[in-house]
Amino acid sequence: MAMERIKRGTLENLIKVWEQSTSWERCDGAAYYHVQHSRMEVLAKSNTLSVEQVAGAFAALSPNTDEKSNYVALNTCIGIITGSLPFNSPVHAYPLNRAKALDISTWV
């Protein structure tokens, strides 16, 4: 039940932001989405992961993190998942967000 409230609240917030945005902001957001989606596709393909796994990990790592640092953290998590980095490699993210990103990245 609590998760449904969180999802509903998140959806309501997204709708509110969308309704308050200008047409330029909507176009800019759509362009940004396509750029990010393409980046996620490249990372997914080159690491034998799905776009959903990579995008989910990226989102999990993002709170209070700038985009560049988020990509560094994402690449570290991908390295941990693929075995090219040890599990205890430092990830620039909150510990729970690191755990979420690693969990999301292991979805099958």
Q: Which residues contact 79 (CB under 8 A, 6 or more apart)?
A: 85, 89
Range of the domain at 99: 50-108
Q: pTM of the full predicted structure?
A: 0.79
Q: For residue range 76-86, what is the model confidence (pLDDT) as tens digits?
A: 999 999 999 99
Whether residue 67 is contained in a domain is answered as yes
| Number of compact structural domains in the chain | 1
User: Six-digit token pair at 40?
Assistant: 């996620």
Residue 93 lies in a domain: yes
Inside any domain, residue 77: yes
Q: Determine, yes or no, domain membership for 108.
A: yes
Q: Give every residue of the chain whose pLDDT is below 70, as ranges.
A: 1-9, 105, 107-108
